[in-house]
Amino acid sequence: MAKSKPKNQKRRIWRTLLLSALGLFVFLLMFVSAFIYNPFEGSLPSLRDAVPRGVNFFVRKQNLAADFDPFPEPRFWSALSDAPGFDAVDSGALGQRFRREGLDRALDEARAQLEAVARDSGGFLDVMRDVIGEEVVVAGYNQDYSVSPPRPLAVPEWCLYARINWRVKLLLGLAGFGFVQSKVAEQGMALSSEDDLLVLRVRGQNPIYIRRHLDALMVANNTEMLEQSQLLIFGSQDVEPIGQQPAYTVGALERIEEWSIRNDVDDPNVVEFLVEPNAYDGFRRFAAGWPDRNKRDSMNERVLASFLNLRGWLQVTGGFMFEDGYLGATGQIGLNSRDHSPFQSDFYTTEQQRREQWLDPFLNMVPQSACAAAALRMPAGEFLNAMFDALEDDEKSLINDALRRSNFNGAQLDDAVDLISRLRVAFQPRTGFVFRRNVPDLSRDKETNELLVPVAAKSPVPQVAWVFWLRPGGANLVESLAKMLRDYYTSFGFQKVFYLSVPYAGGTFPEKVSEFTNPQIPATGEIAMITFGDFFIVSNSGPLIRDILRTHYGSQSGTRSVRDLDAFYEGEEELSSSLSGLVWVDGEQLQTVLDDYLEFADVSSAQMDPEWMMLTRPKVEDDVRRRSYPQYPSKASMPRSLIAPGGEFDRKVVAAMREKWTRDRTNFTADDRAGLQQLRGISELFRGAALQVELEKNYIRYQLRLMREF
């Protein structure tokens, strides 16, 4: 009995210590739960459901910490910075603007701040790991909707939502105590508690408001958004979450889910976004003037204005995806159909047809040498009218005058509008384009050894083919157009007409290309056309049409299309069966086109090129005669004293030619050249790009795939 007493005593001591420790732990747990935070509290089911519907901007990213190593360097940065085209981008306008705006310094400062937080807390707190690394949302307003009509806010109202862990909960709980607030004051800041908010004030800046609910941290520069978010969290029916806004659910979430299924990606690395462009004053000012349908020096912009109306863009929503080997984007642009022009109303409501029926046959005839190709379902006749309407008045007059002197299908024409109205029934509502580097046609006349297609207006402009789909019986109408041009080619300013045969290894195809030449046609000196199968093609290059025909008959010629390219094949599974349009760009082929532009930009000579002078002088002489000596019907009828070398007419012609030479040779500024170099650098970073769109009256759905080289 005497020996067992010490053992019982030891047991009682250990039991007492254990109970005391347990009691202390329970007491501390109760203290923490009562005054700091509840360790057993749950998690907010959906962070984005705390964001009110109707915000002007919204961005959401999950697993942000996994994208950096360390912040702010993305994990792919070393591969990108070593890529061939990166230096051109870094030294170009994008890189310069990045540094000019101080974004590089801002990133360095952000990294320093994050490192300082981790260092000062002894490693207890890491902002990326503990605050924004798991899930983060930034949303807010640019417009004040308390007045009618809404007006821009002096400072955007924003709120950051983040999913936090126990470390941050503990610190936020302690932040309500006076000794912690005193420590913050020593850093030149003021931290105070106002109801259930923490308010952080820094001298010279607006206060920052902080609220926590479960594992959701909300930081805002205004209390209104925090109040709306709190109502959403508590299930109030007075406020709706962004998850009930169709622009976000349909334009972003559904599109991202569809993208994931098509690409067999279960958990995509995606940045979700929503933005209302016209909530930004800068965008509204830009949209009011671009694209300008009256832009005198840019026909491209005048044509684009027929299709695009930025003022009617309600929301742009979607997601950016970052996957191995490629970058993706998908989403939707909401449109205000009341802002559509008559042409746009037709354009956005054209035929519905599966891509296998209309797009694939087009892609099957795009040669692999093409740098880009595009196809779009739209009313071809209306598009032709829009193209003609975008011409300068003088150009319209010349075309109309030539048409009035011609005969189309046995009938006289009033003007181009009359011709288009007769042709439109031949075309299905689809149009395609093929672009390729311009390789000069050096074919020569066997007898005279002169170039068959001379070019005076030298230019790096690529070869372009415009493809039309024909309705049954439409071939007869477009053949009548080709016959009219062949019969009256001089009326349209052409000098010669050729038939270009299309040979291949097994013989020659029966179809021939009609070529109409004029040295003043920029870059190629010709217009060409052909009709075969269900297609009518117009181009500035006969050789391009010839290669398109060979590709179309690839089973006979062995010529392969872009669909056989590895880069295109990788993304073809993404193509929707109901798409309205597709743009394909080949990075490697685009580089050759940009090289031509850069080489052309480097050509500077004060002396006129003799070949250019020979080819250009006849037209300049005619222009000068019409402008300064309209009383003479031709140069031959003018007095010898005027046209003799050194005479008044000769001096005016030489002056006009010098002016034209100077104008043609100084189109590229230093900024233009820098922009071309940067674009070339970007093209080196990507093997190819495919953009598909689906058009409806109230929206444009888009999907982009960039196959990267790095």
SS (H, E, C) 215-284: CEEEEECCHHHHHHHHHHHCCCCCCCEHHHCHHHHHHHHHHHHHHHHHHCCCCCCEEEEEECHHHCHHHH
Residue 95 lies in a domain: no
Residues 546 and 680 sit within 8 Å (Cβ to Cβ): no
Residues 213 and 228 sit within 8 Å (Cβ to Cβ): no
In this predicted structure, which of 28-37, 58-67, 450-459, 644-653 has the lowest mean pLDDT?
A: 28-37
Residue 251 lies in a domain: yes
Residues 430 and 375 sit within 8 Å (Cβ to Cβ): yes
Residue 116 lies in a domain: no
Q: Residue 604: pLDDT above 60? A: no
Do 410 and 553 have their domain in common? yes
Residues paired with residue 697 on neighbouring β-strands, in sequence order: none
Do 305 and 320 have their domain in common? yes
Neighbours of 647 (CB within 10 A): 15
Interstrand relation of 313-323 and 326-335 (parallel, antiparallel or unpaired): antiparallel
The pLDDT > 90 percentage for the chain reads 47
DSSP string, 598-652: HHHHH---SSPPHHHHHHHHHHHHHHHHHHH-TT-SSGGGS-HHHHSTTSHHHHH
Distance of CA 60 to the CA centre of its chain: 21
Residue 1 lies in a domain: no
The CA dihedral of 416, 419, 421, 425, to the nearest 10 degrees, is -140
Quote the pLDDT of residue 344. 78
* Three-state SS at 366: coil
Q: Residue 11: pLDDT above 80? A: no
Do 455 and 580 have their domain in common? yes
Q: What is the mean pLDDT of the chain?
A: 87
Instruction: Summarize the confidence of residues 86-115 as an average pLDDT.
Output: 82
In this predicted structure, which of 297-301, 589-593, 619-623 has the lowest mean pLDDT?
A: 297-301
Do 579 and 476 have their domain in common? yes
Domain-terminating residue out of 239, 257, 280: 239
Both tokens assigned to 81: 């910075």
pLDDT digits (tens, 9 = 90+) for 252-311: 999 999 999 999 998 999 999 999 999 998 899 999 888 888 777 676 777 788 888 888
Do 384 and 353 have their domain in common? yes
Q: Phi, psi at residue 33, to the nearest 5°?
A: -65, -35
| Domain hosting residue 279, numbered range | 245-336
Do 611 and 583 have their domain in common? no
CB-count exposure of residue 376 (10 Å: 0-12, 13-18, 19+) = buried
Quote the pLDDT of residue 21. 64
* Three-state SS at 153: strand
pLDDT digits (tens, 9 = 90+) for 220-260: 999 999 999 999 999 888 899 998 899 999 999 999 999 99
Domain-terminating residue out of 311, 336, 361: 336
Residue 6 lies in a domain: no
Rounded distance between C-alpha atoms, residue 619 and residue 635, angstroms: 11
Most confident of 13-17, 97-101, 488-492: 488-492
Residues 481 and 488 sit within 8 Å (Cβ to Cβ): no
Rounded distance between C-alpha atoms, residue 420 and residue 400, angstroms: 12
* Three-state SS at 343: helix
Quote the pLDDT of residue 1. 45
Quote the pLDDT of residue 334. 95
Rounded distance between C-alpha atoms, residue 707 and residue 710, angstroms: 9
Q: What's 184's domain CATH number?
A: 3.40.1000
Do 345 and 444 have their domain in common? yes
Nearest in space to 170 (alpha carbons), one of 48, 31, 45, 22? 31
Stated pTM of the model: 0.84
Rounded distance between C-alpha atoms, residue 15 and residue 6, angstroms: 14
Neighbours of 9 (CB within 10 A): 10
Q: What amino acid occupies position 529? A: M
Number of domains in the chain: 4
Do 370 and 303 have their domain in common? no
Distances (CA, A) of 365 to 370, 492, 502, 557: 11, 30, 14, 12
Do 465 and 515 have their domain in common? yes
Do 348 and 489 have their domain in common? yes
Rg (CA), the chain: 34
Quote the pLDDT of residue 668. 63
SS (H, E, C) 12-65: HHHHHHHHHHHHHHHHHHHHHHHHCCCCCCCCCCCCHHHCECCCCEEEEEECHH
CA end-to-end span of the chain, whole Å? Answer: 82
Do 480 and 610 have their domain in common? no
Do 430 and 497 have their domain in common? yes
Q: Residue 666: pLDDT above 70? A: no
DSSP string, 168-184: HHHHHHHTTSHHHHHHH
Domain-terminating residue out of 239, 264, 292: 239
Residue 632 lies in a domain: yes
pLDDT digits (tens, 9 = 90+) for 362-419: 999 999 999 999 999 888 888 888 888 888 787 888 889 999 999 998 889 999 999 9
Residue 561 lies in a domain: yes
Residue 500 lies in a domain: yes
